[in-house]
Amino acid sequence: MKSFLIKNKRNMRVEILDWGCRIVSIRVPDRNGKLIDTVLQYKNIADYKKDKHYLGSTVGRYANRIENGKFNLHDSGIQLSQNESGKNHLHGGFIGFDKKYWNLTSHTENSIEMQILSPAGDEGYPGNLTVDVRYEVSEDNILTIDYHAKADEATLVNITNHSYFNLSDNRDSIDSHELQVNAEYYTPLSDGHLPVPPYRKKVKDTIYDLTELRPIDTLKEEIGNINYCMDPSDEIRRVATIKDIESGRRMTISSDYPGIQVYFGNYLSGDFKPFQGMCCEPHYFPNSPNINIYPSALLLPGDHYEHRIKYSFENF
């Protein structure tokens, strides 16, 4: 495994690992100029080989779950690997993008690009898929991730980043954080984290209403893990804000994806404690291939998969 550093002149530092094309570290200056890491990481780089939490990784081919690993494509049934308790397909399968070496294709002081080829039949997916990921740090302390993919057959693509954020000086808890999500709807989920009818509900008058900043310690256990539906748009727009009151740090997430999964890290274990970090993952909805009202994650030959996520950091 090899890690690569990208940085800006304002002292923001981001470390990327070729194993899983993953974010190992995002260090940004605090009010006094001290570099503070904002994501969870393993103490030893070798520990990423046994990671089971998708820590900082590029997740694909399909982030989130597909029920029973099945979907129909052009009237043909497709069976994917069932790596979640022998039932559902989760985050790309047994050996998803997070458990593979990526090839370095470009590296400058403030950017890095990596590529992977997912062959036809990989975890059951049709078509050869080429994926390129670019990380870039700007001078205004923004980390931008660009995803590009193309396939030679019709297939599914839904790629995101799975970093666990903790903006505080207390690295054991996210209790001092607040969260806001710009979404009027969410996808109701079963105990197995799969969407259930009516598949899309208003957040108003529910625990899931995060349209205003709310303290995480009051909702983390009740919400746990949920997907939000963004207003349809091809434009990059602000979708969520994480704010830590104690340290005076704020991160804004912008994206052109149709949804964002909010996960408070309640299943963290081993080297990490539950609720030690939280994920905000812009992507397509869980089980979207089997729910017609959801935005489609279908990629056809000749088409170009192209999405962007931006993490903006500031002190207040």
Residue 253 φ/ψ region, left for φ over 0, alpha for ψ in the -120 to 50 degree band, beta for the rest:
beta
Instruction: Report phi then psi at 127, rounded to 5.
Output: 80, 145
Tokens of 11: 């002292």
Integer Cα distance of 193 and 5 in angstroms: 35
Which two structure tokens, joined as six digits, stand for 163? 């970093």
Sign of CA dihedral 225, 230, 233, 238: negative
Q: Catalytic site residue 162? A: yes
- Going by the DSSP 8-state scheme, the letter that residue 293 receives in this structure is T
Contact between 247 and 167 (Cβ < 8 Å) = yes
Task: Determine whether 281 is an active site residue.
Answer: yes
Marked catalytic residue, from 162, 177, 193, 283: 162
Give the CB-side neighbour count of residue 102, counting CA atoms within 13 A. 31
Sequence-separated (6 or more) residues with CB below 8 Å from residue 268: 53, 164, 274, 275, 276, 277
Instruction: Give the separation between CA 13 and CA 294, rounded to whole angstroms.
Output: 37
Q: Where are the beta strands (DSSP E) in 98-236?
A: 103-107, 111-118, 129-137, 142-151, 155-156, 160-161, 177-181, 185-187, 201-202, 214-215, 225-229
Q: Among the options 136, 193, 281, 283, which is catalytic?
A: 281
Active-site annotation, residues: 162, 281
